[in-house]
Structure 1
Amino acid sequence: MSDRLLRRKTSYVAVLVTVLFCCLSLPISLHSEEPAEEIEVVADDLQYLKDEHKIIAAGNVVVVRGDLELSADRAEVNIETKQAQAEGHVVLRERGKGMLSGREASFDFETSQGSIPDGRFYHFPWYGHGDEMKQEQKKVIKAWNVYITSCDFPHPHYDLKAQEATVYTGDKIVAKNVVFRILEVPVFWWPYLVIPLNYHFGGVKSGYSDEFGAYLLTSKGVAITENVKGRLLFDWYGKRGFGFGAEADYKFERLGTGRLQLYGIMDQNAPNGRADNPFENKNRDDRNRGRVTWKHKARLDPLTTLQLQWYELSDGVFLQDFYEREHRAEVNPQSFATLTRNSSRYSLLGHVEKRTNRFQSVAEKLPEVAFTWLRRPLFGTNFYYTNEEGFLNLNETKAFGPRLRQTVQIYTDHELAYPIRLAKFYSFIPFINFREDIYTDGKAKEEEISRTVFGLGFDSSTRFYREWDYEGKKFGMEFSGIRHVVEPILQYNAIKVATVDPSKVINTGRGDNIDHQDILTFGVENRIQTKRRVGRVDVVSFNAFLDYSFGPGSDLLRTRANKFTETRVEIEVRPYDWFLIRNNSVYSFADSGFDRNNLDLVFEPGRLQLGLGHRYSSNLKTTTAEGRDTDSQLTVDVNYDLNERWDVGGYIRWEANENVLEEWEIRARRDLHDWILDVGFNVRDSDRTDLERTFNKEVFVELQLKAIPEVSLKTGHRSSFSGPRIGRMYSGVQEGPLPSSLTLTSEAPPV
């Protein structure tokens, strides 16, 4: 994409985004007359002076009007003027918006104005103390000669001393003539400082890397309205140049939530995304690069949701270069708009997907519409019917090229099932299905393809369980009752009629790769359960499934022979709250090898936290001289709490097939009460380097404010590993009770 074209596209999109942004920023309010709220007074001792219209209260006094609450030892309240005088442990709270406190206070509940001499305020996570505090109006508090800190010590480690500060509760603190002090020693001065209370404060990150050279990344949080927050980005890279950007997050009750991101840089050493290795020195040049991104989600009504995503990027490696975490989360981001409506009877999908970047290969859907009638009884009988009707206009595009293929698909899919209960304990559900597709074009440029598909099968299962009323510990494992659940499963899925060879049909994502098959699946689900603090927990879970293929088969299957084709095993063991092993694997009998095997182990007894992961995958479409192309990666992350102040840890990532240590890291963490200090050394094999350089080596240091993690000083990069963790969601917690008709019980044996 040329610089001129990029500037033109970016400017066009930026104008649209700016207009939308301004529209969203407009306040929306509805004015209506509300009945006057009365004052309520509660205390140990109450006296009412009728002539003065005054209440005298003493002992645990609480005065409430609307969302304002005043508590004190003693108070006088005029019920006509709504004015109050209070003394002794005075606390003024506004529901959900922090509080003021002091020895005495005067407050007008009618105008929401008041004053507290020598007062204090608290608005998470900030504490403040001022010689004089006045609430000038609702949600606006002024303080003079004020000290602001997030440290809860009587003599804080640090504070911000300001001549004057205005607190906009729930929004921000605006301070003037501000001095940053450490242990009461002045360190830095600002003439004007805005401290956000509900949005990104900003931060500074500096360091050096082989790819960027020395760098300084800064951000500043801004509040545009109460519903629109954002931040401005100002970056400098020694080897790349200056970058500027803006991000905005908005949240409206009716319009929904979303994020806008704009960023641009005149990259002095930009990689060429079309080269085999974009990051080689010979493939670099000076070029304008950037992004325009918009994500939006809204619930139009209780049943309808709208989701939008727009990605405009300068090249295919921009996100990998400057937004690596985002790139890893979504390697190939698409632009689309999706409208869904889900009710208890039907679901409706409207989806539009459009290529917005020429370097991407995208199957455009202009549009896709699908209506699904959910499984329901048919005419009051025991027959259950479901169907789906759809329309899809597909354009296949290739990176940097024109459209490859185009087709319009219209389809209808029906299924009829008849659930049967056998001998009270067994569920047997036979079904038949029928599908009809019409394609305006096929892969061989046929004018029209009409396909008919007919299939049948059944699902059968049962469930048995046995319970033991046991309370106590065995080998350190806590049990509060024990239950063993066994679910045998037998499934048969067949396609008897498929009138068109799938190789002739353009893949649209709706009914692709359909051909003759007869597959019988044997399965069993085993669980040993107990109750713990979080609820029902699967101490042991073992699920196994085995597929057997027979009949004429098709080229889509791995083999046409009558034989077992694949087995899938899922195992999870959680004997203790601090120990977990999880493994899932897929083994192919047809290829005599594992297609996939994933292992996670979490071991967190006391001060030690150990996470181990292994990922194995086999690519059937790629073979080498030694056999199938496989990936085998091992990761280990360990951390140890030396004491209340210090943690140490490390991380390794090892590629087993090539015997390459791709990344390793050592680190230490120091708790500074108000701050967290992380230091370490990271070495990793990066694909963002020239062929002559193999590893990036960086020292990283990060100082992070506990109260607001976004406030930090950083230098260097650390590992982005996110290993398995023991969370509060346990297998078995969300499981419903067993149906009574499928319950078999027996006397509990001695334990």
Structure 2
Amino acid sequence: MNRAFPLLLTAAVLLLAAPVRAQQASWEIEARDATGTVTYDLATGLATGTNGIVVRYNGIVLTADAATVNKTTGEAVADGNVRVQSGEMLWTGEHIRYNFLNRTLQSESFRAGKSPVFVGGERVTGDLTNAVYTATNAFLTLDDFERPFFKVRARRLVIEPGKRFVAHGATLYAGAVPVFYLPYFSQRQDANRPAILVKPGYDSRFGGYLLGSYGWRWGQAVDARLHADYRAQRGFAGGPDLDLHLGQWGEAMLRYYYLNDDEPEPDLNGQPFAEDRQRLDFTWFARPFTNTTFKARVGYASDEGVRREFFEGEHRRDPQPNTFVEARHFWDNFALSARAQPRVNDFFNSVERLPEVRLAGFRQSIGATPLFYESDSSAGYYHRRFSETNVIPGLDYEAARADTFHQILLPHACFGWLNVTPRVGGRLSYYSEAEGPGAVTQEETRAILHTGVETSVKATRTWVGTRSDLLQVDGLRHIVEPSLNYAYIPRPGTRPNELPQFDYELPALHLQPLTAPDFNAIDTLDAQNVLRLGLRHRLQTKRDGRIEEFLYWDVFTDWRLDREPGQETWNDLWSEVKFKPRAWLTFDAMNRFDTRDGAMRLAYHALTLQPNTRWHWRGAYLYLRDDFSPAATAWGAGEESAVSTLYFRLNENWGARLSHYYDLRQHELREHGYALYRDFRSWTGALSLRFREDRFGQNEYSIGFSLSLKALPRYEVGEDTVLRDVLLTE
């Protein structure tokens, strides 16, 4: 017992002393190199370094030509090439007083920052405990150079490391020239775009214009950007962009834009649009609970021209945006969704679903049997609404519909190489009596039998020793997949013309799916006795140590064993090819061949060359034959055109892009654009010109200038080198 007491006392002393030693050990003070010296004064606790000193404490690193450090108070006074690294922030200056314990900093002249935002000034004081530093007569820049070209000078600059920089009494400078004044300016360190964006230019539709926006963050939940635009012939316009970060409730985006148009363009009937014009976009996606999602989209415009005129890029990507709200929950084998889809733009044809509930059963095995089951059931109230700009008004109608589809499949592999999947299914649909001025259908119940069989074979062969320098081939594997898909539907008792059409076939360049549930135009279902014949080829090789598919060819057609009125025995022949003979050379082709008269209905061919970073070229040809047949899937007027886009890097500082769109039917160059790029160290500038013929046959031209920061680019890498007019159609 008496022997144990000294041991316990010694252990206790060691444990109590451990934190003291750990705290002392956290200081590291040493010479920067062999020429430097560090001396210690044990009486005062001061460490003094000359000819280069490095001080490390608690993750903070200070380097300087000379410094004095008091390890008791944590105070360090450093001179000459002083650098203080604290987290992701780096402070530099010639004289800095820094306290390692409370993290306060004082400097007469300093520079600091974290890419892509940097600051500098005459005097800074601050306390990292409060995460705020204040500088006077300071500047903020996104240009990481000793003498930045673009900068914001401020009377007072507040720095919140890792968060943002706030400038009071700020003036934007281009070189030594002041551009404009802002009483308040804020730039986030984690931003993906500069806070201020300005784009001047000229467009024959708008006159001279200046497009500007300012972005900031409200707390952690809102990223905001306010647009303020002026067009000489059209007037002032603008509106807010809000990105909402809702935590468990997902992400939302709101875009609103308003203009009082001084000279509205005419609509298709020759009447000018109203002067008050606006556009509203809202999207929301959330996954608040496991396997539960919510989605919403609103795409509103005051008229059909506002997106086409002022948001050309959006209009090209999605000319008729949907509006809906949807909730969906997933299980292992089923998904239940509820959707409401109103019409908010009365100048578009649309089908309202107010609401629609759907239960989808994914393909799943039935117990221990070899059978599989899948289903798709829906119920809702639907309203077919036609554009109010139609020549013939009063065609709208509405009705309730309940539909359920169930199918059993029996996949089987015969002989180890032949895949056979027979299927049989049934569909039962109920339609209420249609109402509205265009209603012509009565209450109906329809039953449909779906049956068929799908067969396919997958054969491969490999030639390991095959080599070709011309085609970059190192070994060769050929995969061939012939397939047959037979579908049979006996003639139902209720024909499509006796039913309201809510989910119907739309004009499409590609051949439609043959079987349910992929074919979802359920209101147009009718008798079917069709065999789809397909053949798919793949050629694969090894390039740069990985397997790459350098040839893909898919071809198929339909043999209609029983023809319906207006149909031919053979459907169009579809062919799709992607050929990549070298890593930098790609050829794409899609063709749709009319087997009845032996002529092309669709031909699209594209060639892309990207041999290096110096130049890229893409050319494409499109032929689309006119289709004015009475069929609902007729796409109307066709076209024949060729497009070309060339990007060429002239040298390290200059680049150019040329794009052309040529109408081969009219033998006219309908649109051509040119862009000249200049590298300004941390920025890239682009001067863009475009000439084209508008929808009224009038010549139109535009010129614009844009700047893109390399650290916060406005476009993805290569985006503006291969897409036409991205610089003028944002």
Is the TM-score greater than 0.5?
A: yes
SS in 2 for 1:326: helix
- Which residue does 1:142 correspond to in 2? 134
Displacement of 1:181 after TM fit? Answer: 4.9
Report if the CA contact (8 A) 2:63-2:84 is conserved. Answer: no
Report if the CA contact (8 A) 2:200-2:705 is conserved. Answer: no
SS in 2 for 1:360: coil
Counterpart among 589, 593, 601 of residue 583 in structure 1: 589
Counterpart among 137, 144, 153 of residue 145 in structure 2: 153
Alpha-carbon spacing, 1:93–1:454, altered in 2? closer, same or farther (3 Å):
farther
- Which residue does 1:303 correspond to in 2? 291
- Which residue does 2:399 correspond to in 1? 407
- Which residue does 1:241 correspond to in 2? 235
What amino acid is aligned across from residue 691 of structure 2 in structure 1?
Answer: V
Displacement of 1:669 after TM fit? Answer: 1.8
- Which residue does 2:515 correspond to in 1? none
SS in 1 for 2:651: coil
Report if the CA contact (8 A) 2:273-2:303 is conserved. Answer: no
| CA distances 1:468-499 after superposition (whole Å, capped 9, x unpaired) | 44597612x44454322222222212213422
What amino acid is aligned across from residue 194 of structure 1 in structure 2?
Answer: F
What amino acid is aligned across from residue 622 of structure 2 in structure 1?
Answer: R
Alpha-carbon spacing, 1:647–1:271, altered in 2? closer, same or farther (3 Å):
closer
Q: Is 1:121 the counterpart of 2:112 in the alignment?
A: yes
| CA distances 1:531-587 after superposition (whole Å, capped 9, x unpaired) | 335943211112221321113x324x622xxx4322211111112221111111122
Q: Is 1:674 the counterpart of 2:668 in the alignment?
A: no
Cα RMSD of the aligned pairs, angstroms, is: 3.8
Q: Please show how residues 407-426 of structure 1 align to structure 2 within 5 Å.
A: 407-426=399-418
Alpha-carbon spacing, 1:491–1:304, altered in 2? closer, same or farther (3 Å):
same
Distance in 2, matches of 1:55 and 1:719, equals: 64
What amino acid is aligned across from residue 542 of structure 1 in structure 2?
Answer: W
Q: Please show how residues 137-286 of structure 1 align to structure 2 within 5 Å.
A: 137-178=129-170, 180-181=172-173, 185-188=176-179, 190=181, 192-197=183-188, 198=191, 201-273=195-267, 275-277=268-270, 283-284=271-272
Q: Please show how residues 281-292 of structure 1 align to structure 2 within 5 Å.
A: 283-284=271-272, 287-292=275-280
Q: Is 1:601 the counterpart of 2:607 in the alignment?
A: yes
**Structure whose CA Rg is larger:** 2
Report if the CA contact (8 A) 1:44-1:57 is conserved. Answer: no
SS in 1 for 2:308: helix
- Which residue does 2:426 correspond to in 1? 434
Q: Is 1:449 the counterpart of 2:419 in the alignment?
A: no
- Which residue does 2:358 correspond to in 1? 370
Distance in 2, matches of 1:372 and 1:351, equals: 14
Report if the CA contact (8 A) 1:90-1:102 is conserved. Answer: yes
TM-score by length of 2: 0.79
Distance in 2, matches of 1:86 and 1:412, equals: 79
Displacement of 1:650 after TM fit? Answer: 1.4
164-173 or 463-472: bigger deviation: 463-472
Alpha-carbon spacing, 1:384–1:397, altered in 2? closer, same or farther (3 Å):
same
- Number of paired residues? 650
- Which residue does 2:3 correspond to in 1? none
| CA distances 1:657-704 after superposition (whole Å, capped 9, x unpaired) | 2222211123322222233232343210112xxx5x621123433344
SS in 2 for 1:348: strand
Alpha-carbon spacing, 1:270–1:159, altered in 2? closer, same or farther (3 Å):
closer
Q: Is 1:696 the counterpart of 2:727 in the alignment?
A: no
- Which residue does 1:745 correspond to in 2? none
Counterpart among 433, 437, 453 of residue 458 in structure 1: 453
Distance in 1, matches of 2:69 and 2:445, equals: 83
Q: Is 1:648 the counterpart of 2:648 in the alignment?
A: no
What amino acid is aligned across from residue 463 of structure 1 in structure 2?
Answer: K
| CA distances 1:301-358 after superposition (whole Å, capped 9, x unpaired) | 2322211122333222222222222222221223211222334311222111111233
Distance in 1, matches of 2:357 and 2:494, equals: 23
- Which residue does 2:13 correspond to in 1? none
- Which residue does 1:31 correspond to in 2? none
Displacement of 1:136 after TM fit? Answer: 4.3
| CA distances 1:617-658 after superposition (whole Å, capped 9, x unpaired) | 2353359xxx98421221101122221112223111012222
- Which residue does 1:71 correspond to in 2? 61
Distance in 2, matches of 1:285 and 1:348, equals: 42
SS in 2 for 1:441: coil
| CA distances 1:717-744 after superposition (whole Å, capped 9, x unpaired) | x994479xxxxxxxxxxxxxxxxxxxxx
Q: Please show how residues 526-675 of structure 1 align to structure 2 within 5 Å.
A: 526-533=537-544, 535-551=546-562, 553-555=563-565, 558-559=567-568, 563-590=569-596, 592-606=598-612, 607-622=614-629, 629-675=637-683
| CA distances 1:180-238 after superposition (whole Å, capped 9, x unpaired) | 5555x353564634142225523233333332233333322233333212222223333
Alpha-carbon spacing, 1:62–1:508, altered in 2? closer, same or farther (3 Å):
farther
SS in 2 for 1:503: helix
SS in 2 for 1:507: coil
Distance in 2, matches of 1:57 and 1:256, equals: 54
Report if the CA contact (8 A) 1:667-1:680 is conserved. Answer: yes
Q: Please show how residues 337-352 of structure 1 align to structure 2 within 5 Å.
A: 337-352=325-340
Alpha-carbon spacing, 1:676–1:584, altered in 2? closer, same or farther (3 Å):
same
Alpha-carbon spacing, 1:514–1:177, altered in 2? closer, same or farther (3 Å):
closer
SS in 1 for 2:316: helix
Distance in 2, matches of 1:651 and 1:159, equals: 34
Report if the CA contact (8 A) 1:201-1:710 is conserved. Answer: no
Distance in 1, matches of 2:198 and 2:150, equals: 19
Distance in 2, matches of 1:233 and 1:518, equals: 57
Alpha-carbon spacing, 1:457–1:241, altered in 2? closer, same or farther (3 Å):
same
Report if the CA contact (8 A) 2:237-2:257 is conserved. Answer: yes
Alpha-carbon spacing, 1:338–1:536, altered in 2? closer, same or farther (3 Å):
farther
Distance in 2, matches of 1:365 and 1:469, equals: 56
Distance in 2, matches of 1:539 and 1:225, equals: 50
Alpha-carbon spacing, 1:84–1:352, altered in 2? closer, same or farther (3 Å):
farther
Higher relative CO (Cα under 8 Å, sequence separation at least 6) belongs to 1
SS in 2 for 1:269: coil
403-412 or 463-472: bigger deviation: 463-472
Distance in 2, matches of 1:703 and 1:288, equals: 31
Q: Percent identity?
A: 20
Distance in 1, matches of 2:430 and 2:228, equals: 54
Distance in 1, matches of 2:261 and 2:352, equals: 31
446-455 or 111-120: bigger deviation: 111-120
380-389 or 655-664: bigger deviation: 655-664
SS in 2 for 1:564: coil
Q: Mind listing any 5+ residue stretches in structure 1 that lack a counterpart?
A: 1-37, 278-282, 712-717, 724-751
SS in 1 for 2:572: strand
Alpha-carbon spacing, 1:205–1:120, altered in 2? closer, same or farther (3 Å):
closer
Distance in 2, matches of 1:589 and 1:196, equals: 62
Distance in 2, matches of 1:357 and 1:565, equals: 36
Report if the CA contact (8 A) 1:107-1:115 is conserved. Answer: no
SS in 2 for 1:332: coil
| CA distances 1:397-431 after superposition (whole Å, capped 9, x unpaired) | 22336671111111110110111111112221111
Report if the CA contact (8 A) 1:151-1:674 is conserved. Answer: yes
Alpha-carbon spacing, 1:138–1:485, altered in 2? closer, same or farther (3 Å):
farther
Q: Mind listing any 5+ residue stretches in structure 2 that lack a counterpart?
A: 1-21, 32-39, 504-519, 716-721
Distance in 2, matches of 1:191 and 1:621, equals: 58
Distance in 2, matches of 1:407 and 1:592, equals: 43
Distance in 2, matches of 1:537 and 1:89, equals: 52
What amino acid is aligned across from residue 579 of structure 2 in structure 1?
Answer: V
| CA distances 1:594-618 after superposition (whole Å, capped 9, x unpaired) | 3322222111223221111222223
Report if the CA contact (8 A) 2:186-2:216 is conserved. Answer: no
Distance in 1, matches of 2:164 and 2:373, equals: 56
